Chain A
């Protein structure tokens, strides 16, 4: 797999690159800002990019803007945005245009090469990746009238994994059940929560996250 890494802090960038290389991933280019990143994408044609949400010049959300450009200009390239913030709103902004092949992970998450490689694989498969910390924050939010109370424990597990962007197959293998069982759970969850999105579409992640955020 060919990857471009965009991160303005040298030490962090080197750390990520080393982790990737140790995991046998081909880092074809490194960038310090969004502009260089876009140039490298045109030249190196990577399978995915890893991009820091905060980059020069303003150090706010350049990564999100770059992700949006990449999604529209190079839809085949997966975009994994790394952030230091547990901010559901940033994740939602990233996903709202086109949830396929985009991911939002906390920087700490990718200390583990396994997490990083897994996320890149999932992007390559066309999935969405949402950091579990963000999902658990949304799931753990206190609610006066909790619609999630109607869900069984297993359904809550499935909901969390849906929100992380996992496919039915991935959920099935994580929970050691069949894909059919997962499908049934998903349908049940959507019905209980009154979600009218298509339970099989790529947009279901967005529907679930938006629901969790709003209720």
Chain B
């Protein structure tokens, strides 16, 4: 802190402290606007950096302070008769400043670069900046530069003074600046484009400003490319400088805003932790964390050590949380005594609360325990439910198989037999064997009766039309053969999972049978899909209905649904999504 303050004061005072000459060695010397914006930019960065460095994760702040330090590079370079070392260091600062901006754009708001690609980009930029800076430091002799204006004397690092090399470096310099500036814009654009909605809202002030810096810097580099004679008096260069400085002011503001937001998040997590410690409430930990961290996509998953798997708060099995490179999700484990008890899966761009896991882990012990226990119970319930569903499904499958066997086996053979009896009957008649013909005729009638019975039996075991054509024709079939009028309403031709269709079919069949047994004169059946549930309502005018049969309740219950009977209405709700 003190060091930074001292540097700020030095940067304010020293470069202008040389013997006053008529010569202009910085943009600040040329105009008041340039001076003001130059100072605002550098001091802004230093201030934002100090603010951000007060956070437990300091990297963002350190980067910002370094950017502020290097921003003043050109001012040091223009220190008339100043310290040769300061002048020489100042001369190599600009590419490093830009590389720091790239790094900032990559690591906002957490100070960490999350993706491999981003880390590679940062390394590449720093390398390019280092090469440019070192090349300039070692081989550029300002004395040989005919266009020098900031500093025409000192380069403490010079190893060899060569005219050709100096010229080459001066020619390549704008190229290096331009490449890094374009990198800034690209990084900002790519990160904005790939961020989630909430992350974008948090990222845009910093990334937008960084992109502005990149645009201004590339404009400067391209101007320098076309007009190697940089002139602080020229309106073009002077305006470019002011624009550049203002974009850096914006960047400082963006970083400050972002750091402020991180601080607010940290405070709200601390408050949440306190609340959880004082008054743990069952449920809602995920919602509370999501609100505290302003990440609506945040999920809390609980580790069940016995079952060796993760479940969500509702007990549904969840995938083992693991960060997938590039999908923007991060996992923060909540640990206690070194054991993971839960994991928070969140947007990698949003959350940056160091030790969140530990902080929540100790504070929210009761809350997490409660929720974890509840999740465990729910998970067990879910396991029981799926096993019930499997049992019902297996039973249905068995019935379907029986029905098919009857149809394709026994019924088919009886049919073939009937045809043969018919043919034999025709032959016997043709041969004038009346007695035989009569016998064959009655055999034919018998086999016909057997076929009818077999068909009814198969239909009772499992209605083939239900699996082949769905609920609508199957329910219409029930209505066709019902012993009392059945009105069907709302049934759509949409197909549902077989277990759901069977449950609906059996509910309706039960409602009709029961209504007939209670001397009703009609049944009105309504089957509608509402909020991912099929709601079956059968109303009649018979006597009071009893409780629904246990087989039906079991079957519907196995699908996570329910059946209720009220006076003369049977109502079932069956999840169908």
| Residues of chain A whose beta carbon lies under 8 Å from any beta carbon of chain B | 9, 11-12, 14-16, 18-19, 22, 54, 59-61, 84-90, 93, 107-108, 111-113, 137-138, 141-144, 213
Q: Is the CB of B420 within 8 A of A89?
A: no
Q: Is the CB of B480 within 8 A of A138?
A: yes
Q: A61-B468, A89-B473 are in contact. Are A12 and B480 (CB under 8 A)?
A: no
Q: Is the CB of B412 within 8 A of A90?
A: no
Q: Complex Cα distance A19/B418, Å?
A: 12
Q: Complex Cα distance A62/B382, Å?
A: 39
Q: Complex Cα distance A99/B431, Å?
A: 41
Majority SS at the chain B contact face: helix
Q: Report B369 CB to chain A, min CB distance, Å.
A: 53
Which 7 pairs from chain A and chain B are nearest by CB? A15-B419, A11-B416, A89-B473, A144-B485, A142-B485, A144-B522, A60-B468
Q: Report A162 CB to chain B, min CB distance, Å.
A: 18
- Binary interface encoding of chain B residues 424-456 relative to chain A, with 1 for a CB under 8 A from any of its CBs, else 0: 001000000000000000001000100100010
User: Is B486's CB within 8 Å of the partner chain A?
Assistant: yes
Chain B residues with CB below 8 A from A89, complex form: 465, 469, 472-473, 476-477
User: Is B411's CB within 8 Å of the partner chain A?
Assistant: yes
User: Is B551's CB within 8 Å of the partner chain A?
Assistant: no
| Residues of chain B whose beta carbon lies under 8 Å from any beta carbon of chain A | 404, 407-408, 411-413, 415-420, 422-423, 426, 444, 448, 451, 455, 464-465, 468-469, 472-473, 476-477, 479-487, 521-522
Q: A84-B455, A90-B469 are in contact. Are A137 and B416 (CB under 8 A)?
A: no
A–B pairs, 13, beta carbons within 8 Å: A15-B422, A84-B455, A85-B455, A85-B465, A86-B455, A89-B473, A90-B465, A108-B448, A111-B418, A111-B444, A113-B422, A141-B479, A142-B486
Q: Complex Cα distance A15/B424, Å?
A: 11
Closest chain B residue, CB of each to CB of A140: B480
Q: Complex Cα distance A11/B411, Å?
A: 12
Q: Report A51 CB to chain B, min CB distance, Å.
A: 15
Residue among B404, B423, B444, B468 facing the most chain A CB atoms (10 A cut-off): B468
- Partner of A88 from the list B408, B412, B476 (CB cut-off 8 Å) is B476
Q: A11-B413, A59-B408, A141-B480 are in contact. Are A22 and B423 (CB under 8 A)?
A: yes
Q: Report A72 CB to chain B, min CB distance, Å.
A: 21
Q: A137-B480, A142-B484, A142-B486 are in contact. Are A19 and B422 (CB under 8 A)?
A: yes
Q: Is the CB of B469 within 8 A of A12?
A: no
Q: Report A176 CB to chain B, min CB distance, Å.
A: 28
Q: Is the CB of B472 within 8 A of A111?
A: no
- Partner of A213 from the list B413, B426, B476, B522 (CB cut-off 8 Å) is B476
List 16 extra interface pairs beyond A9-B415, A54-B407, A142-B483, CB under 8 A: A9-B412, A12-B412, A16-B419, A19-B422, A59-B408, A84-B411, A93-B469, A111-B444, A111-B448, A113-B426, A137-B480, A137-B481, A142-B482, A142-B485, A144-B485, A213-B476
Q: Is the CB of B469 within 8 A of A112?
A: no
- Partner of A61 from the list B448, B455, B469, B485 (CB cut-off 8 Å) is B469
Q: Complex Cα distance A138/B477, Å?
A: 9
Q: Report B548 CB to chain A, min CB distance, Å.
A: 23
- Partner of A12 from the list B416, B472, B483, B487 (CB cut-off 8 Å) is B416
Q: A60-B468, A89-B477 are in contact. Are A84 and B407 (CB under 8 A)?
A: yes
Q: Complex Cα distance A93/B473, Å?
A: 11
- Partner of A87 from the list B465, B479, B484, B487 (CB cut-off 8 Å) is B465
Closest chain A residue, CB of each to CB of B464: A85
Q: Report B440 CB to chain A, min CB distance, Å.
A: 12
Chain A residues with CB below 8 A from B487, complex form: 144
Residue among A12, A19, A213 facing the most chain B CB atoms (10 A cut-off): A12
Chain B residues with CB below 8 A from A144, complex form: 485, 487, 521-522
Chain B residues with CB below 8 A from A84, complex form: 407, 411, 415, 455
Chain B residues with CB below 8 A from A22, complex form: 423, 426
- Partner of A111 from the list B411, B422, B469, B522 (CB cut-off 8 Å) is B422
Residue among B407, B419, B426, B469 facing the most chain A CB atoms (10 A cut-off): B419
Q: Report B505 CB to chain A, min CB distance, Å.
A: 14
Q: Complex Cα distance A1/B138, Å?
A: 105
Q: Is the CB of A15 within 8 A of B479?
A: no
Q: Is the CB of A87 within 8 A of B477?
A: yes
Chain A residues with CB below 8 A from B423, complex form: 15, 18-19, 22
Chain B residues with CB below 8 A from A108, complex form: 415, 418, 448, 451
Chain B residues with CB below 8 A from A213, complex form: 476
Q: Report A32 CB to chain B, min CB distance, Å.
A: 14
Chain B residues with CB below 8 A from A61, complex form: 468-469
Q: Complex Cα distance A9/B426, Å?
A: 22
Q: Report B430 CB to chain A, min CB distance, Å.
A: 9
Q: Complex Cα distance A10/B337, Å?
A: 74
Q: Complex Cα distance A192/B294, Å?
A: 68
Q: Report B378 CB to chain A, min CB distance, Å.
A: 39
Q: Complex Cα distance A84/B455, Å?
A: 8
Q: Report A117 CB to chain B, min CB distance, Å.
A: 13
Chain A residues with CB below 8 A from B404, complex form: 59
Q: Report A80 CB to chain B, min CB distance, Å.
A: 16
Closest chain A residue, CB of each to CB of B482: A142
Q: Complex Cα distance A141/B477, Å?
A: 10
Q: Complex Cα distance A108/B522, Å?
A: 33
Q: Report A94 CB to chain B, min CB distance, Å.
A: 12
Q: Complex Cα distance A14/B420, Å?
A: 9
Closest chain A residue, CB of each to CB of B417: A11
Q: Complex Cα distance A12/B418, Å?
A: 9
Closest chain A residue, CB of each to CB of B454: A84
Q: Is the CB of A12 within 8 A of B473?
A: no
Chain A residues with CB below 8 A from B451, complex form: 108
Q: Report A109 CB to chain B, min CB distance, Å.
A: 10
Chain A residues with CB below 8 A from B479, complex form: 141
Q: Is the CB of A111 within 8 A of B419?
A: yes
Closest chain B residue, CB of each to CB of A112: B422
Q: Complex Cα distance A89/B444, Å?
A: 29
Chain A residues with CB below 8 A from B416, complex form: 9, 11-12, 14-15
Q: Report B520 CB to chain A, min CB distance, Å.
A: 11
